[in-house]
Structure 1
Amino acid sequence: MGNSLPSIPAKRYFTIGEVGDLCGVKPHVLRYWEQEFTQLRPMKRRGNRRYYQHHEVLMIRRIRDLLYDQGFTISGARNKLQEIVQGERDKRRNGEVMLDGVGVVVLEGLDQEEELIGDSFPDPEALTEGDGAIASAQVSWLRRELVEIRDLLLEAD
């Protein structure tokens, strides 16, 4: 993936324009990719406005890398992305999680990480193989985010 892409800010939702800027593609390309890649499903609100989450921005960057940098066709990229997603599912089933492309074994004692991270997501590039505290903090942060998203969805119903 190109190093010229900006870092992804620590926020919950991104507009299609923001995602375009973060991923180096135009909004009409993102709308097209939504049709071609079933894994890409941004939340739609009033007036069909799209709101992407952090994991979708990462997926778009992967798609962009496959298409633009590695030279895959749309169908080839779709197949490769499906392989990647299946591989991550298999790793989760085996007790591992994927955090921004870094494989981390889920560690015990996840109640100690609250003081490590506060409300911001720890930098995954700072993660080293033996750095269990950061990995543990990332898992906890992701859990809190998912609970908040679930609560927001329940309120909307």
Structure 2
Amino acid sequence: MQDHNDEKTYRIGEVAELLNLKTHVLRFWETEFPQLAPLRTGKGQRLYTEEHVGLLRRIQQLLHEQGMTIEGARRVLQGSAVLDESLPERVAAVPDPDFMRMLKRELTAVRRLLSNE
């Protein structure tokens, strides 16, 4: 194991706050994404590097913003240790109210059409 003393690390609570996630979500993602393996202190505390935080942001984007399944996100990440940093980073995926109203009208119309068949 290489020496990570010169690399900035974050505790799980800090990462959770940084990404606006719950710590149990981060622990769950560790079990689902093999490339996410935080360092451990002698007492077993998780320490995340900048690379881990970038990977977590990418996972969050795939799952929460793009609506992918865990399996789909896992496939996107497999075989590629390089994250695409050119993707726009959004703080939160907030739907546009006008778009949501239009979508609701369209879905209601489709349901009406289907119920008449």
Give the TM-score taking structure 1 as reference length.
0.47
Unmatched segments (≥5 aa) in structure 1: 1-10, 89-97, 103-157
Give the alignment of 1:9-28 within 5 angstroms: 12-28=8-24
Q: Structure 1 vs Structure 2: percent identity of aligned residues?
A: 44
Q: Secondary structure at the match of 1:48?
A: coil
Matched, 1:63 2:59: yes
* Residue 79 in structure 1 maps to residue 63 in structure 2: no
Q: How much has 1:80 moved relative to structure 2?
A: 0.7
Residue type at the aligned position of 1:12: K
Per the TM alignment, residue 83 of structure 1 is displaced from its structure 2 partner at its CA by 4.9
The alignment yields a C-alpha RMSD, in angstroms, of 1.8
Runs of 4+ in 1 over 2 A off after TM superposition: none
Q: TM-score, normalised by structure 2?
A: 0.62
* Cα distance change on mapping 1:84 and 1:70 into 2, 3 Å: farther
Higher relative contact order (CA 8 A, sep 6+): 2
Q: Please, which of 52, 68, 85 is the counterpart of residue 101 of structure 1?
A: 85
CA distance in 2, matches of 1:24, 1:83: 27
Cα displacement string for residues 102-157 of structure 1 (whole angstroms, at most 9, x for unaligned residues): 5xxxxxxxxxxxxxxxxxxxxxxxxxxxxxxxxxxxxxxxxxxxxxxxxxxxxxxx
Q: Which has the larger radius of gyration?
A: 2
Q: What is the CA–CA distance in structure 2 between the aligned matches of 1:83 and 1:23, rounded to whole Å?
A: 24
